[in-house]
Amino acid sequence: MTLIGRADLHIHTTASDGRYTVQEILQHLQTRHPHLDVIAITDHDVLDASLWAYEHQSRYNFEVVPGVEVSSRGGHILALWVTTPIPMNMPLAETVQAIHEAGGLALLAHPFHLEFDVVRANALRYLTQPQVLVESGLDGIEVHNSGILTPACNWVARVVAQRLGMAAIGCSDAHTLNAIGTGVTRWAGRSAASLRTAIMTNTTTAEGTAWNISDYIEYLQTELFSQEKPSLASMSSSANAPSAPQSGVLPF
């Protein structure tokens, strides 16, 4: 089987914690990444940018899969082919069910990226009882995430996916322009429809490299700026005005 298609299904914009707008990302893809056939904008728990890209995909030379990265109690779930919001903070199986009911596919993102609390809380269970991933109804596992610094995290995810016979997904998890396309999913087709079929029939492969050091630096600059904004706002606001609690930025 010849794998001709390339897709990057995990890209962030300024709608969540990315550095660039959806319009900037799509234009960059159009001019710098002619090898990508399908992409997905998957911001954290918001669909706005992804739906804009989906609705305007006719302007570009690639197809757009609408999607979102859902924060669940079982980890981060890439919900692809969805156009309606998926509730946050549900158990893994309930999140997968909600994605399926919305007409989408559910892929477990960076399941062993231990820098994050929600991943650490579930990683040992997924490693020692991997069958729970199958039982949850997941459609695949992200086995290559270019943003992960520790290579072993991707390796473990790949081994688990292989042992379970689950579809392997490769993604950049890009938060900057230059990181886009560093991780890709390959399949024997070029369309979004054929990609969906390939995921459902476990005929995809994942490949890629790590981000460049400049991508990590640029991303960290974005994180620092986002953390500074609340304090700057509070300095200029009235001392008597109540301030809303600030939620932390979810990286990756």
pLDDT at residue 203 tops 80: yes
pLDDT, residue 241, reads 38
Which of 30-39, 101-110, 114-123 bottoms out in mean pLDDT, i.e. has the lowest?
114-123
Asked if residue 221 is part of any domain, the answer here is: no
Average pLDDT, the chain: 89
Q: Which amino acid is at 41?
A: I
Quickly state the pLDDT bin for 56 (edges 50, 70, 90).
Answer: very high
Sign of the Cα pseudo-torsion (167, 148, 190, 196, in order): positive
Asked if residue 161 is part of any domain, the answer here is: yes
Beta strands in 42-182 (DSSP E): 63-72, 75-80, 105-108, 140-145, 167-171
- The model's pLDDT over 6-45, given as tens digits with 9 standing for 90+, comes to 999 999 999 999 999 999 999 999 999 999 999 999 999 9
pLDDT at residue 65 tops 70: yes
For the whole prediction, is pTM greater than 0.75?
yes
Quickly state the pLDDT bin for 252 (edges 50, 70, 90).
Answer: low
Distance CA 21, CA 194 (A): 28
Asked if residue 38 is part of any domain, the answer here is: yes
State the total domains in the chain.
1
Asked if residue 168 is part of any domain, the answer here is: yes
Asked if residue 109 is part of any domain, the answer here is: yes
Report the CATH number that the domain containing residue 60 is assigned in CATH: 3.20.20.140
pLDDT, residue 85, reads 97
Asked if residue 120 is part of any domain, the answer here is: yes
- Helix (H) or strand (E) holding 6, with range, is strand 5-11
Distance CA 189, CA 7 (A): 10
Asked if residue 11 is part of any domain, the answer here is: yes
pLDDT, residue 221, reads 83
Quickly state the pLDDT bin for 242 (edges 50, 70, 90).
Answer: very low
Quickly state the pLDDT bin for 162 (edges 50, 70, 90).
Answer: very high
